Structure formats: C-alpha cells, structure tokens
Chains A and B, each alone.
Chain A
Amino acid sequence: GDSVTQMEGPVTLSEEAFLTINCTYTATGYPSLFWYVQYPGEGLQLLLKATKADDKGSNKGFEATYRKETTSFHLEKGSVQVSDSAVYFCARGRRASKIIFGSGTRLSIRP
C-alpha cells in the first residue's frame, strides 16, 4: 500500500548548519506531498507542500522538491535556527482524502 519513509532521528545540529531530512514515498498515482511540523506543545502545522512533479514547496527558509524519478521529497534549509527545533513529518495525500505520514524526525538545534 501507499507509504512514506523518512530518515529516523533524532537529528542534532548547531545553529546555522545546513539541514537535510530525507523522505521517499511509494509511487502510486500522483499524490500531493507535504511536510508538516510540530513545535513543542503545539499541534501539527503544514510547513510546505507540492502538488505535482518538479514543484518546489518553500516556507520559512525550508524547501522541498517533488522528484518523481526518485520518488523523493527531501526537506532542506540552508541555515537552521534554534526556533526550528521540532518534529518534522513527511506526508502524501490526495484531495479530500486521508494523509499518509512518515514516522517523524525530531530535530534539535544547539545555540
């Protein structure tokens, strides 16, 4: 069935380091792809999304490109901040239907 696989955490980086969190998905159909973030004590928030191949989603300095040939949607940020510490979830979904999530990657940024 449909699934999403993302790199396991926790990931610990120093402030201003480069971040990559890998994510791959099963290639059934043409889903939309998402990155959600859960900051400490808060609910899930949509960070960015891409709806078709080669689309790039971006928000708050984070980027991810929908790669159909490698079935990937890796999350990147050039310079992380302490405030980026959170759990990040890669996900796939379709209109008005369930979202399938990866297992989440906990990110901690050291000052």
Chain B
Amino acid sequence: EAGVTQFPSHSVIEKGQTVTLRCDPISGHDNLYWYRRVMGKEIKFLLHFVKESKQDESGMPNNRFLAERTGGTYSTLKVQPAELEDSGVYFCASSLREGDNEQFFGPGTRLTVL
C-alpha cells in the first residue's frame, strides 16, 4: 500500500510568488496533519483535518497560509504571497480515525523562497 505522498519534493520561488503544496494521505486515513521545519529548528504543527473539516488550525502562522481538503482526500497548502521566512520543509502526515492514531509522515516538500 502506498504511503503518504507529497508534491513537489522541492520548490524554489521568489518572494511574493504563490506556491501550492499537495499531500495525498494513506487511503482511508481521516486525519491529515501539516507540519513544517524551518531553518533546522523543531518541526512545528500547522493544522489538522478530520476528513474535510479543520479540527485544529492553531499552528497556522498567518493568513498567507491557506489549507484545504476538499472531499476529505488529498490536501493542499497554499502560501500567498510567499516570504523569505517561509522557507523550510513542509511535512504532511495522516492517521486512522480509530485505533492508536499513529501518524505516518510523507517525505516532505522543501520550499526555498529567494
């Protein structure tokens, strides 16, 4: 079975541009999470979807970030307009609704804003 996939693996954009990151969770996983690691620091939580609903978006840094999960399958994270401090690695994770809720992580998208 395929794991969590993320696209693209790398993105290099200029300040002020828009970037959209995509995450495809493991099939059947209702929970979907976004995290990011900036400048080699700790990995920080951004938000949590349960199916298509935002369960917790307390980690979203500001209104330049917009996450969606239409239909409760894949999710997108849009950054508009991108700033230099948005550079980092963006991870997506998914877990089952029931059970021990182990979160399975994707390989991440490395975003570089110049």
By a beta-carbon cutoff of 8 Å, the part of chain A in contact with chain B is 4, 36, 41-46, 49, 89, 91, 93, 95-104
Contact = CB atoms under 8 A, between A and B. Distances in A.
A92 to B, nearest CB: 12
Interface residues of B, number: 29
Interface string B1-18: 001100000000000000
B101 A96 contact: yes
Contacts of A42: 107
Contacts of B85: none
7 contacts: A43-B107, A89-B43, A95-B101, A98-B45, A99-B33, A99-B93, A99-B103
Contacts of A104: 37, 40, 42-43
Given A43-B106, A44-B91, A98 B42 contact: no
A26 to B, nearest CB: 13
B91 A96 contact: no
B105 A44 contact: yes
B91 A100 contact: no
Interface of B: 3-4, 31, 33, 35, 37, 40-45, 48, 50, 56, 59, 91, 93, 95, 97, 100-108
A100 B44 CA distance: 7
A101 B95 contact: no
Contacts of B45: 98-100
Nearest to A100: B45
Given A98-B45, A98-B48, A43 B56 contact: no
Contact of A46 (B31, B37, B91, B102): B102
A103 B41 contact: yes
A102 B48 contact: no
Contacts of A49: 102
Contacts of A102: 42
A102 B42 CA distance: 5
Given A96-B95, A103-B42, A104-B40, A43 B4 contact: yes
